[in-house]
Each structure stands twice: as structure tokens, then as C-alpha cells.
Structure 1
Amino acid sequence: MSDRAPLGVFGGTFDPVHVAHLRLAEEAREALGLARVRWLPAGLPWHRDALRTAPEHRLAMVQAAVAGNPAFEVDAREALAHAPGYTVDTLAALRAELGDELPLVLILGADAFARLHTWHRWRALFGLTHIGLATRAGQAVDASALQPALAAELQARSRDAAHLRTAPAGAIVRFDMTPLAVSATDIRARLARGESGRYLLPDAVLEYIRRHRLY
């Protein structure tokens, strides 16, 4: 048993990190009662095509974006590994460092969750972490659209946020997120056309992009 505020874990390519990422992490922190959110910029994700932006730049942009929030912290291990990594291995490493009792919550959007069954050793994730599943306000997850084994896990493991403090791992907790139609793909295209990224990206990230001539 545990009665400690959970640590959120938020991974992604963050190419670049933008306001919707920041808002999702903040709403997860509030809705799920997280003590902190640890951001994990990916290095060379095995399930994605090669990224055009070097891990060191994506890491630096995340560090710049979260610098003003004391509840956010950045973990550089994946970004600096220079090798493809798996979430399950990262979480196992976190467990080894933080112990078996601290609740962990892996923050996922609905699209990422729908592909969870394609992740390496995906069932092992539930022994390492809870999952905080972000859904659009007022909309339920369509279990019939999920792969059957994943749908079964969602049905069996769904709990409310209060459960997160009582166990270190194993639950799926849904929470509402503010829908923001902001995407890294669109931002990269805008910047490539010479258009403004202001108000889509934190000012510190925009300055980093300008200084290093990214995108």
C-alpha cells in the first residue's frame, strides 16, 4: 500500500514542445493529484521515423519550456542515450531509482493509448505504472474501437483518481483535457514557411529555435 502523491511521467518527441503539451501536463497534474510531472523527451524512438531535430535540441527546448514551473522536471536519459529505447525499460529504471512504493502515472493521450498494444512488452507497463488517460471533455473512450486485449485491460483497470495514491501501479484513470488544436507537425510547417509561431510555443522555445535555426 502507498499513500504518497504520485509522480507523473510524460514522454514524447516534443519536436517542438508547444502550448498543448504544457497544458496537458498541467491538467494531468491537477486532475490526478500529481506531486510533480517528469518530462522525458525521446531520443531515438523505435516506433517513429527518423526525427529531423537532434535529441539535444529537443531536450533543450523542453528544459526551456518548463523552467518556470516548479512542479515540472526534465529527465534527459532517453534524449542522451543515442539509441532506440522502450518506455517499459525507462519505467523499470525509474522504479529501480525511486523504489517500489511511489505511485507512478504515465500520461497518455487517447491516440497514444489506442496504440499501446503495439508497444514493446506493453502488458508489463501495468506492473510498473498507472496510466493517466487524457480524454476530451465530455467524451468517453470508445472501447469498441480498441484492440480487444487493450479494451479488456481498460475495462478491468479503470479507477478514479483517488486510487492512484493507494497503489504504486496498475490502474487506468481517465481525466478531461482542454481540446487545443495545436500540433508539432503544423508548427514545423508554419515555421518552414516563415510564418509566426508566437502563442503556439513558449517565448523561450521560439528564441531557441531562432538562435539555432531549427525547422
Structure 2
Amino acid sequence: MNQSTQRIGMLGGTFDPIHVGHLRSAIELQELLALDQLHMIPAQQPPLRDRPQVSATQRLALLKTGIGNTPGLVADDRELLREGPSYSADTLAELRIEYGSDTRLVMVIGYDAFLRLTDWHQPERLFELAHLVVMARPGYCDALSASLMELVEHRRVDSVEALMERPCGGYLSLELPSQMAVSATYIRHCLEAGKSVRYLVPATVEQAIESGKLYQRNE
């Protein structure tokens, strides 16, 4: 492989709100996969979950605040600019056009989302555009369904080096060193109850949530 070939990652999610688990995972992914850039992309309206409580614009602002000046991490607003549901295949297609056919493009998802991959929009197309890296998640050890095994098993590789031999089409399961079990749902519950979220989110994000009066229970 050409040593100058770029490695670009995509980490989508609601980031509702962004927290230290998201950000620490992003750093570890960047290091383990030797990514030049990791695009963190908030979903406008995730197809398989309820509408987030705060607006997409507010979630993007919190993401930008959380990332700050961290090298290689990019707060990417492209899914917020599209109408309708946020389909990962469409986002990967845009990134593939931007970075070119030889770039090693990687989509990263958590194991919980991976278990529902066959329910996604055009799951086969994902592999035509990118590699799939699945992060092990604390508490998730469910077996793969037959349809999911059929989709991914023949694509499986056992190392980052093997994954990066081609621009797309592979599947790698990756266990991050920290595996921080921080939940955005728990953070929202804390905020609604008026409890502290210190050390669950970056201090700058905590301040932005407080000043914007976000995630407070409506009386």
C-alpha cells in the first residue's frame, strides 16, 4: 500500500449529548486505526430511534465544544444539512467522493448498533463504500443473527493491517482499551433531575449545557 494513502474514519451518532466516552473512544480509534481524520457526525434524525430531545444544531454545537482543538477529530455537520432520515450509506458516499477511491474509509459503530445492521438502509452498500469497524461495548455479548452472519462473516479480518490493505469491504471487531461505560441516557436523566454530570462530559460541554438550559425537564 502507498504510504501516503489516507485513512479516514466516520463515527456517527446522536451525541445527545457528547460525553467523555464518545471522545475517549474517538481518540483511541484514531490511534489504533492510524486515522488521518475521524469525522464525528451527528445524525439529524436517526432512522432507528426516537427524535433526540435537543435540536440537531444544539447537539452539533456541544460536539464542537467537546472536541475543541483535538487534532484529527472533525465535527461534521453534513447529515444536519440533508432532509429526512440520516442514512450512513449516503454519508459514506459523500466522503468517498471527497477523499477519492484509494482512501481507506472506515465506518465505526458500537456492538449494540451492529446487532441491528441488517435493518439499516442498504447495508450491503456500506461495504461497497467503506470498511466496518465494530467497537465492543460493555454489557453487550449477544450472538449474531443468521442474516447478520451472512452479511459480514466472509468480510471478517483479524487485524488493522489486513483491513487497510484495501479501500473498503472489510469487517473488523475492535476492543478499545478504556471501554468507558458512559451513557448519554444516564446523563440526560441526571440533567433532568438537576443532578451533576461533572466528569461525565467535558467541563466546556457542562458549561454550555448549563448556560443553554439544555436537557432540563419542562415544568
Length-normalised TM-score, structure 1: 0.92
Q: 1:189 maps to what in 2?
A: 189
Q: 2:123 maps to what in 1?
A: 122
In 1, the alpha carbon distance for the partners of 2:187 and 2:82 equals 26
Using the TM superposition, name which of 174-183 and 69-78 deviates more.
174-183
| Cα deviation code 1:82-101 (max 9, x no counterpart) | 53221101111111222111
Task: Find the residue that maps to 1:214 and give its secondary structure.
Answer: coil
Question: Which amino acid is the alignment partner of residue 207 of structure 2?
Answer: E
Question: Which amino acid is the alignment partner of residue 150 of structure 2?
Answer: A
In 2, the alpha carbon distance for the partners of 1:66 and 1:135 equals 23
Check if 1:25 corresponds to 2:3. Answer: no
Distance 1:146 1:201, change over 3 A: same
8 Å CA contact 1:40, 1:78 repeated in 2: yes
Matches within 5 A, 1:29-108: 29-108=30-109
Check if 1:152 corresponds to 2:153. Answer: no
In 1, the alpha carbon distance for the partners of 2:136 and 2:45 equals 27
In 2, the alpha carbon distance for the partners of 1:211 and 1:174 equals 39
Structure 1, gaps ≥5 residues long: none
Q: 2:169 maps to what in 1?
A: 170
In 1, the alpha carbon distance for the partners of 2:98 and 2:6 equals 17
8 Å CA contact 1:17, 1:184 repeated in 2: yes
Length-normalised TM-score, structure 2: 0.90
In 2, the alpha carbon distance for the partners of 1:206 and 1:133 equals 29
Q: Which has the higher contact order (CA 8 A, sep 6+)?
A: 1
Task: Find the residue that maps to 2:71 and give its secondary structure.
Answer: coil
Question: Which amino acid is the alignment partner of residue 125 of structure 2?
Answer: A
Could you say what the CA RMSD is over the residues aligned between the two structures, in angstroms?
A: 1.9
Distance 1:105 1:206, change over 3 A: same
In 2, the alpha carbon distance for the partners of 1:78 and 1:55 equals 9
In 2, the alpha carbon distance for the partners of 1:47 and 1:141 equals 20
8 Å CA contact 1:2, 1:167 repeated in 2: no
Q: 1:13 maps to what in 2?
A: 14
Cα drift, residue 2 of structure 1 = 5.7
| Cα deviation code 1:133-182 (max 9, x no counterpart) | 11259x9966xx21212113332111110023321101111221222221
Q: 2:213 maps to what in 1?
A: 213
State the number of aligned residues: 212
8 Å CA contact 1:2, 1:166 repeated in 2: no
